[in-house]
Amino acid sequence: MLRGTLPPLAAPGRAGGGPLSTPRLLRPGSPERAGLDPDEIGHLVGEVRDLTRGPRPWCAGAVVVVGRGPVIAAQEAAGWAVRYAAYDPETDAGVELPREWRVPMRTTTPFDLASLTKLFTTVAAVQQLERGTLGIDALVGAYVPEFTAAAEHGITVRQLLTHTSGLRPELPLYDCPDEAARLAALRTEAPVTAAGDYVYSDLNMLLLQRVLERLTRRPFDALIRDGITRPLGMTATGFGPRPDAAATEDQRKPWAKADRGMLRGTVHDENAWALGGVAGHAGLFSTARDLAVFCRTLLCGGSYGRARILGPDFVELMLAEPGLGFRVDQPWFMGELAGRGAAGHTGFTGTSLVLDPATDTFLVLLANTVHPRRRAADSGPRAAAGTRLARAARGR
């Protein structure tokens, strides 16, 4: 795709078609009304509840939303948004708050999305592809020439979106003394592997953020708000602080990269925090219901109700193998939903979403798995939930 050759994007909030083509809004329902096997959905919800139980649960609390078409088949909250006052390294356990001081999880509880933020960065970039103002195979250096390493090594927009730029997973920006030093580190960071090799990297989305800000001459948070969340009515989605959010980690060295104490409502990711809480790779907060709207929008080809944020061809471009920003067909967190073009992502704090165009289904599972401290990643429960949904769709 070449810059200037793609059709323009319709204004946000405009209908994507006539009345018959306007996608229906999400509405509460039941597995039966959604055309899903109620037994499988019942098991899915019960297993999510179980994840929050016991002295060392998978997560302190969780919210799950399952839908098919415009029908929300299940929506459940379990456990605690805030359960622990601190982490005790001597006992390797959380210091539990008295029960009356804990904060129960609600279906409306906001979560630190962590890397699910990357999906919004991706949509913002693909919007510019649709407008014709950004070329997918254009050189990053053409937009931000001061990023000298990216320019020297010929990094492209496509490589950023597919994590094939060769950039390493992250930089310790949180150790830089000031903003100027952080920016200098990003500008001079060169690839460490060959272009084309897949290396998942936060730096790709940080660089893409800078490209989008330069291209649109707008701050990144405004770009996400005005181009995605506002037209879709996702009023609970935005960059922090969010004091009502589920708690994350008692962030202290040596297990973390900074000493910040128990976090609630401020971004967990150390680099996003060092960058002021607004970053292309992490920083957004949202609720399960808002993310259900996001999923429904993509399953409807970029429209929701009378709002249109992308055209169907560009949604297809974004979700087709190997995926732009989105991961496609990943059994390790999608379970049996994988293998048919399912797309989604996970976040370090315990968040995930999957949408399956083949069955018009979606699954949002938000959990605070790093509360009270981070552990080795375990996506088994995510995969199990994906498998339950896949079987529920097949069984009806």
CB atoms within 10 A of CB 192: 12
Residue-wise pLDDT for 131-149, tens only, equals: 999 999 999 999 999 999 9
Residue 347 lies in a domain: yes
Residue-wise pLDDT for 50-65, tens only, equals: 999 988 999 999 999 9
User: Taking the model in full, what pTM does it have?
Assistant: 0.93
- The residue type of 44 is L
364 has a pLDDT exceeding 80: yes
The whole-chain average pLDDT of the chain stands at: 93
176 has a pLDDT exceeding 90: yes
Residue 115 lies in a domain: yes
Residue-wise pLDDT for 21-38, tens only, equals: 577 899 999 999 999 999
Angle at 367 between CA 256 and CA 288, to 5 degrees: 130
Residue 274, token pair as written in the block: 């060092």
Beta-carbon contacts of residue 305 (< 8 Å; ≥ 6 apart): 22, 23, 24, 25, 233
219 has a pLDDT exceeding 70: yes
For residues 3 and 155, the model is more confident at 155
1 has a pLDDT exceeding 80: no
Are the C-beta atoms of residues 77 and 93 closer than 8 Å to each other?
A: no
The whole-number average pLDDT for the span 313-330 is 96
Residue 385 lies in a domain: yes
The reported pLDDT for the residue numbered 24 is 86
Are the C-beta atoms of residues 59 and 351 closer than 8 Å to each other?
A: no
- CATH code: domain of residue 28: 3.40.710.10
Residue 313 lies in a domain: yes
The whole-number average pLDDT for the span 282-300 is 98
11 has a pLDDT exceeding 50: no
The reported pLDDT for the residue numbered 395 is 75
Mapped to the 3 state alphabet, what secondary structure does 191-241 carry?
CCCCCCCCCCCHHHHHHHHHHHHHHHCCCHHHHHHHHHHCCCCCCCCEECC
Residue 169 lies in a domain: no
Backbone angles phi, psi at 73, to 5 degrees: -80, -30
Residue 8 lies in a domain: no
Give the structural domain span for 126: 19-132+226-394
The reported pLDDT for the residue numbered 173 is 96
Please give the tally of structural domains in the chain: 1
Residue 147 lies in a domain: no
- The residue type of 111 is F
Residue 192 to residue 185: CA distance in whole angstroms: 14
Residue-wise pLDDT for 77-118, tens only, equals: 999 999 999 999 999 999 999 999 999 999 999 999 999 999
Residue 271, token pair as written in the block: 């680099």
The reported pLDDT for the residue numbered 396 is 54
CB atoms within 10 A of CB 69: 21
Half-sphere exposure of 351 (CA within 13 A, CB side): 28
Backbone angles phi, psi at 349, to 5 degrees: -75, -10
For residues 55 and 190, the model is more confident at 190
Residue 171 lies in a domain: no
As a whole-number percent, the residues of the chain with pLDDT over 70 amount to 94
The reported pLDDT for the residue numbered 21 is 53
As a whole-number percent, the residues of the chain with pLDDT over 90 amount to 92
